[in-house]
Amino acid sequence: MSRLVMKFGGTSVANVERIRNVARHVKREVDAGRDVAVVVSAMAGKTNELVAWCKEAAPLYDQSEYDAVVASGEQVTAGLLAMALQQMGVPARSWLGWQIQIRTNDAHGSARIESIEGAGVIDGFGRGEVAVVAGFQGVHAETNRITTLGRGGSDTSAVALAAAIKADRCDIYTDVDGVYSTDPRILSEGKARRMERIAFEEMLEMASLGAKVLQVRSVEVAMVHGVPTYVRSSFDDPANPGEGTLICNEEDIVEAQVVTGIAFSRDEAQITLRHVADKPGVAAAVFMPLAEAGINVDMIVQVVSQEGMTDMTFTVVKADYDRATAIIEKVKDDIGFASMEGAKDVAKVSAIGIGMRSHAGVAARGFRALSEKGVNIRAITTSEIKFSVLIDEAYTELAVRTLHSLYGLDAA
């Protein structure tokens, strides 16, 4: 009998009626003869409420107690869905992360999964029982404390569980009916195209570059363990659901497009250091203090040295901008730059596609098209399957529309 893991996010389980709708989706798969495990998030808005309570109780809260509080949202959803399934005549029981031994490290609030036992879930299949698992949470074995995986962690829970129990696939149900070539809200009605299939690598790039459909870590886990993963809509008719988008290995895609999708992020800030001494160790002096503070640096551009001096530009998440500039200012003497400039009104626009590996001039065409629209490029980064440009935020939508049309992604 085939095994399936289904995951439902917060909007899909926002109230009891929606939980009943989720139960109908699950019953459809059970009636088709599949062993089913379901991973659920907290009801929409519940995690934010729990976080607010933690901050109200103690602004400098203990992180392990924070995890104990915020993990309760998923516990409520799991119990309610198990009840709804039982009401429909489907045997079901709820499981918390520690009960199926989702073991993690001790990084409370952003823990990473180290192993999953899953034997109890498989035993339940033998009794014809649906396992309803609280996502987003696990346990640190040494301390026996509840941990949480960070925002979006339920996606990671679901894919990791699918790998652990050797499920045939994992279906991630969201409020959209698949992965689109870009955010449909950016284009005129109907121009963004839903993809039938997308490679793991492409989805990983899209998720990391601003697409909000899936959490990055969940795509990493799916790619490492080769778990075919569908993105589907929980708001489809349970009796006649749409096909969604399959995220799979590259070899499962018969003919890859040159460019698959256009992603963008407005959550960017640019920092430029002028007249930096061009000598060994300077880059480390800039980026090590940022790394130690947990600040992720993305695009890095260094101009050609002239008379022993260079300019260095890099980007950080907008929320980290003030911290990053303060840290750089503190180590100014170690770095030896003349001045620091910055901008928060920037955006990153990226074109992604595994077909870029075998086609020359893809990025050059994009740069020319943007220039013809009057879009100035501040910085560029590339890899085998993507290129990203940093531009003024005001031109974000124009740049996305331009590239989307250029590479033939507009729906017919």
DSSP-derived secondary structure letter, 209? T
236 is in an annotated binding site: no
Give the residue ranges of DSSP H helices in 188-330.
200-208, 216-225, 282-292, 321-330
Q: Is 350 exposed, middle or buried (0-12, 13-18, 19+ CB in 10 A)?
A: buried
10 is in an annotated binding site: yes
176 is in an annotated binding site: no
61 is in an annotated binding site: no
Residue closest to 122 by CA, chosen among 78, 167, 155: 167
- Strand order across the 137-140 sheet: 113-116, 102-104, 137-140, 145-148
311 is in an annotated binding site: no
245 is in an annotated binding site: no
The C-alpha angle with vertex 153 and arms to 250 and 196, in degrees rounded to 5, equals: 30
47 is in an annotated binding site: yes
7 is in an annotated binding site: yes
Strands (E) in 13-136, as ranges, are: 35-40, 92-95, 102-104, 113-116, 130-134
175 is in an annotated binding site: yes
174 is in an annotated binding site: yes
Q: Is 132 helix (H, G, I), strand (E, B) or coil?
A: strand
Distance separating alpha carbons of residues 408 and 406, to the nearest angstrom: 6
User: How many CA atoms lie within 13 Å of 144's alpha carbon, on the beta-carbon side?
Assistant: 0
395 is in an annotated binding site: no
Q: Is 374 exposed, middle or buried (0-12, 13-18, 19+ CB in 10 A)?
A: exposed
74 is in an annotated binding site: yes
As annotated, the binding site for substrate includes: 47, 74
Could you tell me which residues are annotated as the binding site for ATP?
7-10, 174-175, 180, 185, 212-213
Q: Which residues are annotated as a binding site?
A: 7-10, 47, 74, 174-175, 180, 185, 212-213
